[in-house]
Amino acid sequence: MVADKDNELPEKLEQDPEKTDQDPEKTNQDPEQPKQEPEKTNQEAEMPKQEPAPMYEQEKQGGKCCGGCCDYRRAVVVLCIISIIFTIIGLVNPALNDAFSSQKYPELEEIVNSHKVALLAIGIIHIIMTVVALVGAIIFNFYAVVLYVLWSILNLIVSIVLQHQMVTELLDWIETQTDDETWSPSNQEELERAINFYMIVSYILTVIFTLLWLYPSVFLSIEIKKGIMTKETYPREEMSCCCVSQNHN
């Protein structure tokens, strides 16, 4: 009897591990089961994906030149063309040479000729820089537009200096003309005061005009730098009070 009981115990021990092995298998199957995702509703399944609106239908993000005349790119292109035309007219205009007789006033001719080369060089450089700005505005190049702005400021300073030197030399030349008996030192002083006042007013007006002229170029360079005005976004930014059929509000 004792031997039979001893034989039954190993058999039970051999059966128990099999039962214990089955339990982990059952427990391990639970994490492996895929999680059930919530089913999408019919509205979510049928809802189409919203595509972005075409660029020309989007709201304009950039500014408007002169309060609503046109976009800054168009303004710079127009102003550059006007500047090139008037600069060329100023270079080829012979009015200054015909304003006085060179035989009667050789000293005056010498004063004018001494500044003619500098003025001609400035005019040629200005045409080149304006063409650079024109191309820069067309191809949305930031550096070309900024270079034109810097040149215009330098051109303003150099032009004022040259103009002041030329006027000073002309006043000195007038003072040496003592052939006229009616001309007195008091007349010379009055003339100098009048010319100085005129020059100061002309300098102020020139500075104001230059700043207004450069204002579209400055804002265009800012918009190009920020990525507002690019080749891709121009259909959105394009604006004109007379030349574009669809204006942005």
Per-residue pLDDT of the chain (249 residues; tens, 9 = 90+): 445 555 555 555 455 554 444 554 444 445 555 555 555 555 554 555 666 777 666 777 888 888 788 899 999 999 999 999 999 998 887 555 555 555 666 777 787 778 888 888 999 999 999 999 999 999 999 999 999 999 999 999 999 999 899 888 888 887 776 666 666 777 778 888 898 899 999 999 999 999 999 999 999 999 999 999 999 998 888 888 877 665 455
Residue 110 covered by a domain = yes
Range of the domain at 167: 64-176+186-237
Residue 211 lies in a domain: yes
Question: Per the structure, how many domains does the chain have?
Answer: 1
Considering the entire predicted model, what is its pTM?
Answer: 0.70
- Domain membership of residue 200 (yes or no) is yes
Instruction: Let me know if residue 198 belongs to a domain.
Output: yes
Asked whether residue 2 is domain-assigned, the answer is no
100 within a domain of the structure (yes/no): yes
DSSP letter string, the chain: -HHHHHHHHHHHHHHHHHHHHHHHHHHHHHHHSPPPPPPPPHHHHHPPPPPPPPGGGSPP-S--BTTTTB-HHHHHHHHHHHHHHHHHHHHH--TTTTSS-TTT-HHHHHHHHHHHHHHHHHHHHHHHHHHHHHHHHHHT-HHHHHHHHHHHHHHHHHHHHHHHHHHHHHHHHHHH----TT--HHHHHHHHHHHHHHHHHHHHHHHHHHHHHHHHHHHHHHHHHHTSS-TTTHHHH--BSSS-SS---
Residue 152 lies in a domain: yes
